[in-house]
Chains A and B, each alone.
Chain A
Amino acid sequence: MLLFGSGDPFDKASDTANVDSSCVQSHRCAHCSLPVPANHVEEGATHQFCCAGCRTVFEVLNQAGLEEYYAFRARLDEQPVRPASVTGRPYAELDTDTFRSLYVKELSSGAREVELALDGVHCAACVWLVEKLPALCPAVQLARLDLGRAVVRVTWDPTVGALSEIARVLDRMGYEPRPARGSSKESQNRRELRRMLLRLGVAGASAGNVMLMAFALYSDALGNMLVETKRFFEWGSLVASLPALWAAGTFFRGAWAAVRTRTPHMDLPIAIGILVGFLWGGHNVLLGAGEIYFDSVTALIFLLLVGRYVQRRHQVAASDAAELMHAVSPATARVEASDGAITERPVDTVAVGDRVHVLSGQIVPVDGLVVQGVSSLDMSFLSGESLPVGVEPGDSVQAGAVNLGSALITVCERAAADCRVAGLMRDVERALGERAPLVALSDRVAGVFTVAVLLLAAATFGYWATIDWSLAVDHALALLIVACPCALGLATPLSLSSAVRQAAARKILVKGGEVIERLARPALFVFDKTGTLTEGRLRLARWVGDPSLRVPVHIAEGVSSHPIAVALRRDLEPASKQASTEWEPRVQSMREVLGRGLEARLDGERLLVGAESFVRKHGVELPPDLEGALTQGLAEGLSPVLVSLGTRVRAIAFVVDPPRADAAESLIALMRRGHRLALLSGDHPDVVRAIARQLAERAGRRELFVDVLGGVTPEEKLRWIRERTLECPTVMVGDGVNDAGALAAATVGVAVHGAAEASLLSADAFLSRRGVAPVVELVRGAARTLRVIRRGILFSLAYNVVGVSLAATGILGPLSAAVLMPLSSLTVITNAYRSRTFARPRRTRGGSRPGERSGSLGVRGELGLDPPGGSRAARTAAPAEVRS
Chain B
Amino acid sequence: MSVLFLVLPLALLASAVAVAAFAWAVRNGQMDDLTTPALRMLEEDTGSSSRSRAKLTNRQAERESSDEKTPE
A interface, over-half SS: helix
Closest to A233 in B: B8
Which of A195-203, A276-284, A459-467, A703-711 has 4 or more CB atoms under 8 Å from chain B? A195-203
Q: B10: shortest Cβ distance to chain A, in Å?
A: 12
A-B contacts at CB below 8 angstroms, number: 107
Flag if B61 contacts A240 (CB, 8 Å).
no
Which B residues, 1 to 26, have Cβ-Cβ distances below 8 Å to chain A?
1, 4-5, 8, 11-12, 15, 18-19, 22-23, 26
Q: Given the complex, which residues of A lie within 8 Å of B50, measured CB to CB?
A: 135
Is A545 among interface residues, defined by CB-CB distance under 8 A? no
B46 is an interface residue with CB less than 8 A from chain A? no
Query: A198 contacts B61, CB within 8 Å?
Result: no
13 contacts between A and B (CB under 8 A): A131-B43, A135-B51, A135-B54, A141-B57, A142-B58, A144-B36, A144-B62, A193-B32, A194-B70, A202-B22, A208-B15, A209-B15, A232-B8
| Residue from the list A124, A198, A226 in contact with B23, Cβ < 8 A | A198
Most chain B CB atoms below 10 A, which of A190, A194, A205, A236: A194
A761-774 interface mask toward B, CB cutoff 8 Å, 1 = contact, 0 = none? 00000000000000
Contact of B12 with A134 in the complex, beta carbons under 8 Å: no
- Identify the stretch in A145-153, A348-356, A666-674 within 8 Å (CB) of chain B at 4 or more residues: A145-153
In the bound assembly, the distance between CA atoms of A135 and B29 in angstroms comes to 25
Per-residue CB contact flags for chain A residues 499-519 toward chain B (1 = under 8 Å, else 0) read 000000000000000000000
User: Least Cβ distance of A738 to chain B in Å?
Assistant: 38
B65 and A107 contact, CB distance less than 8 A: yes
Q: How far is the CA of A239 from the CA of B32 in the complex (A)?
A: 30
Q: Are A134 and B58 in contact (CB under 8 A)?
A: yes
Query: Judging by beta carbons under 8 Å apart, are A197 and B31 in contact?
Result: yes
- Whether a CB of chain B sits under 8 angstroms from the CB of A111 is yes
- Give CA–CA (A243, B19) in the complex, Å: 10
A226 to B5, CA, bound (A): 13
Q: Contacts A107-B67, A155-B61 given: A190-B33 contact, CB under 8 Å?
A: no
- Docked CA distance A399–B49 (Å): 52
Known A-B contacts A124-B39, A127-B40; the reply to A201 vs B65 at CB < 8 A is no
Q: Tell me whether A229 is interfacial, beta carbon within 8 Å.
A: yes
A105 to B23 Cα, complex, angstroms = 25
Q: Interface on chain B toward A: helix, strand, loop, or mixed SS?
A: helix
Inter-subunit contact B67/A105 (CB<8 Å) = yes
Which residue from chain B places its CB closest to the CB of A155 in the assembled complex?
B61
A interface size (C-beta, 8 A): 44
From A107, A209, A229, give the contact of B4 (CB < 8 A): A229
Is A338 part of the binding interface, using a Cβ–Cβ cutoff of 8 Å? no
Closest B-chain residue to A128, C-beta based? B43
Give B51's nearest chain A residue, CB to CB: A135
| Chain B nearest Cβ from A653, distance in angstroms | 52
Contact yes or no, A111 B61, CB < 8 A: yes
A108 in the interface (beta carbon within 8 A): yes
Interfacial chain A residues near B8, Cβ < 8 Å: 213, 232-233, 236
A134–B58 Cα gap in the complex (Å)?
8
Closest chain B residue, CB of each to CB of A133 = B54
Instruction: Kindly state whether residue A132 has any CB partner on chain B within 8 Å.
Output: yes
- Going nearest first, the 7 A-B pairs with the smallest beta carbon separation are A142-B61, A141-B61, A124-B39, A135-B54, A147-B36, A146-B33, A134-B54
Contacts of B1 in A (CB 8 A): 226, 229
CA distance A232 to B62 in the complex (A): 47
Q: Quick check: is A662 within 8 A (CB to CB) of the other chain?
A: no
Besides the known contacts A141-B64, A146-B35, A201-B26, 12 further A-B residue pairs in the complex with CB atoms under 8 A apart: A127-B40, A131-B43, A134-B54, A135-B54, A141-B61, A146-B33, A147-B35, A149-B33, A190-B32, A193-B32, A209-B11, A232-B4
Closest Cβ neighbor of B19 among chain A residues: A205
Distance of A488 Cα from B66 Cα, bound (Å): 42
Q: How far is the CA of A148 from the CA of B32 in the complex (A)?
A: 10
Asked whether any CB of chain B lies closer than 8 Å to the CB of A224, the reply is: no
Are A191's CB and B12's CB within 8 A? no
Least CB distance from B56 to A in Å reads 10
Within 8 A of B (CB), among A487-533: none
Q: If A124-B39, A201-B23, A209-B15 touch, does A142 touch B31 (CB 8 Å cutoff)?
A: no
CB neighbours of A123 from chain B (8 A):
39
- How near does chain B come to A185, taking the closest CB pair, in angstroms? 15
In angstroms, Cα B50 to Cα A132, docked, is 11
- Tell me the minimal C-beta distance from B11 to chain A in angstroms: 7
Contacting A132 at CB < 8 Å: which of B15, B54, B65? B54
A159 at the B interface (CB under 8 A): no
Question: Does A557 have its Cβ within 8 Å of any Cβ on chain B?
Answer: no
Residues of A within 8 A of B42 (CB): 124, 128
Q: Across the interface, which residues of A come within 8 angstroms of B36, CB to CB?
A: 127, 144-148
Query: In the complex, which residues of chain A have a beta carbon less than 8 angstroms from the beta carbon of B18?
Result: 205
Bound Cα distance A201, B33 (Å): 17
- Does any Cβ of B come within 8 Å of A113's Cβ? yes
Residues of A within 8 A of B31 (CB): 194, 197
Q: Which residues of B contact A195 (CB under 8 A)?
A: 70
In the complex formed, the residue of B with least CB distance to A198 is B26
CA distance A144 to B33 in the complex (A): 11
Residues of B with C-beta under 8 A to A146: 32-33, 35-36
Other-chain residue from B12, B32, B62, B64 in contact with A194 (beta carbon distance below 8 A): B32
CB distance from B29 to the nearest CB of A (A): 7
The answer to whether A236 and B65 touch across the interface, beta carbons within 8 angstroms, is no
- A844 contacts B by Cβ under 8 Å: no
The interface centre, meaning the residue of B11, B23, B31, B39 with most chain A CB atoms within 10 A of its CB, is: B39
Which residues of B are found within 8 Å of A63, using beta-carbon distances? none
Residues of chain A from 423 to 470 with CB closer than 8 A to chain B in the complex:
none
Residues of A within 8 A of B62 (CB): 142, 144
Report B54 CB to chain A, min CB distance, Å: 4
- By a CB distance below 8 angstroms, the chain B residues around A848 are none
Q: Is the CB of A107 within 8 A of B19?
A: no
Chain B positions within 8 Å of A205 at CB level:
15, 18-19, 22
Q: Determine whether A578 belongs to the interface, using a CB cutoff of 8 Å to chain B.
A: no
Do residues A201 and B61 form an inter-chain contact, with CB atoms below 8 A? no
Report A173 CB to chain B, min CB distance, Å: 16
In residues 191-234 of chain A, which contact B (Cβ within 8 Å)?
191, 193-195, 197-198, 201-202, 205, 208-209, 213, 226, 229, 232-233
Report yes or no: A109 in contact with B64, Cβ–Cβ below 8 A: yes
Cβ of A108 and Cβ of B5 under 8 Å apart? no
CB of B6 to closest CB in A, whole Å? 11
Do the beta carbons of B5 and A232 come within 8 Å of each other? Answer: yes
Q: Indicate if the CB atoms of A131 and B26 lie closer than 8 Å.
A: no
Q: How far is the CB of A793 from chain B (nearest CB, A)?
A: 31
- Output the nearest chain B residue to A243 by Cβ-Cβ distance: B19
Bound CA–CA A452/B35 (angstroms): 45
Distance A353 CA – B46 CA, assembled complex (angstroms)? 60
Point out the residue from A108, A148, A194 that lies within 8 Å of B26, measured CB to CB.
Answer: A194
With a cutoff of 8 Å between Cβ atoms, the chain B residues found around residue A134 in the complex are 54, 57-58
> Given A142-B65, A209-B15, do A190 and B57 touch, yes or no (CB 8 Å)?
no
Minimal Cβ-Cβ distance residue in B for A121: B36
> Separation in Å of the A463 CB from the closest CB of chain B?
40
The residue in chain B whose Cβ has the minimal distance to the Cβ of A229 is B1
* A83-128 contacts to B (CB < 8 Å): 105, 107-109, 111, 113, 123-124, 127-128
Contacting pair A147 B58 (CB below 8 A): no
Residue of A nearest to B22 (CB): A201
CA A236 – CA B16 in complex, angstroms?
Answer: 13
Give A146 to B31 CA distance when docked, in angstroms: 12
The one of B29, B39, B64 in contact with A190, judged by C-beta atoms closer than 8 angstroms, is: B29
In the bound assembly, the distance between CA atoms of A191 and B70 in angstroms comes to 7
Question: Within the assembled complex, what's the spacing in Å between the Cα atoms of A660 and B3?
Answer: 76
Report the separation of the CA atoms of residues A231 and B43 in the bound assembly, to the nearest whole angstrom: 54
Q: Which A residues are CB-close (under 8 A) to B26?
A: 194, 197-198, 201
Q: CB-nearest residue of chain B relative to A209?
A: B15
Q: Which residues of B are found within 8 Å of A213, using beta-carbon distances?
A: 8
A213→B33 CA distance, assembly (Å): 34
Q: Once the chains are docked, how many angstroms separate the CA of A243 from the CA of B15? A: 12
